[in-house]
Homo-oligomer: A and B are copies of this chain.
C-alpha cells in the first residue's frame, strides 16, 4: 500500500476562497501516453499513470486475450523515456484482425473488451465456494479507502486491490480504472500470484468491461466503492460473480449472488 510518487507532479496554481486568492503548489495526477507494440506492430496507445508499465502491459494483453500465461511472453521491454512497451509473444497475434480493426470505446477509462456478447462470456461462469462476512467487506473497504480516498479525490486517480482473508495483497493506482485492474492482473501473471477465490476491491464504477476483465481471472467477489451499471450487474449475475457496490458509511448493496456474503 506504498504511495507511488511518480504518478503525481507538482504545479503552481492560484487558490481562491472567501478569504481571497493566494499562490500555492498543487499536486496533480500525471497522464502518460504509453504505446504497446506487439510483435513489431503498433497495438494500442493508452493514457495512464506512468508507473508499473510492465504490469499494465501484461494485464492489458491478458485482458484482451492476446496472451494466456506468463509463458506466452517471450520478451517484454519497457522504454519509460519513449513511453513504449515492445512485446514479443509466442502466438501469432498480429493476424488477429478483429483486435487490430475493431474500435470499442468503453464507458470509462480506456478499457476495451474482447467479448461483446454475453454468450461469449457464459463459458467463464465462476464456480467458487468462497464466502465473505459482511463485516469483512466493510473493513476491507475501509482499509482500501484509507489508503486511497484522499489521494484519489485530490488527484483524480482510481485504485484497485486484490484481497484474501481480509488483507490487501496487491494494490495499484492509475488515472484509468481499467488500467488499475489491468495492473493487478498483470502483476499476478508476472509474479505467479493466484487469483482464484480472491476478492477484487475497486474505487471505480463497475461497468461491463471491468466485469469481463475480472471474470477472465475467475474472481468470485467484486467490491466497489462506486455503483455498477445495469450491464455490469447482468454480466455478474450471468457469470456467477457476487457484486457488491456503494460500500460506504457502514452500508453496502449486494447486486447479485448474495449468498457469498455471510
A residues adjacent to B (C-beta < 8 A): 9, 11, 13-18, 21, 24, 26, 28-31, 33, 43-48, 100-112, 116, 134, 153-156, 175-176, 178-179, 205, 207-209, 226-233, 246, 250-255, 258, 261
Whether A116 contacts B13 by the Cβ 8 Å rule is no
Name which residue of chain B comes closest to A227, CB basis: B156
For the complex of A and B, the 7 pairs showing the least CB-CB separation, nearest first, are A105-B110, A31-B229, A47-B107, A156-B227, A31-B231, A156-B205, A14-B254
Known: A26-B253, A28-B230, A31-B230. A104 touches B45 (CB 8 A): yes
Tell me the complex Cα distance, A107–B110, Å: 5
Whether B13 contacts A253 by the Cβ 8 Å rule is yes
Whether A107 contacts B48 by the Cβ 8 Å rule is yes
Which of B11, B33, B103 sits near A103, CB closer than 8 Å?
B103
Whether A229 contacts B16 by the Cβ 8 Å rule is no
Known: A14-B253, A16-B252, A18-B250. A107 touches B176 (CB 8 A): yes
Tell me the complex Cα distance, A105–B45, Å: 6
Whether B103 contacts A29 by the Cβ 8 Å rule is no
Whether A17 contacts B251 by the Cβ 8 Å rule is yes
Whether A255 contacts B11 by the Cβ 8 Å rule is yes
Name which residue of chain B comes closest to A259, CB basis: B14
Whether A31 contacts B105 by the Cβ 8 Å rule is no
Name which residue of chain B comes closest to A17, CB basis: B251
| Chain B contacts for A108, CB-based, 8 A | 108-110, 175-176
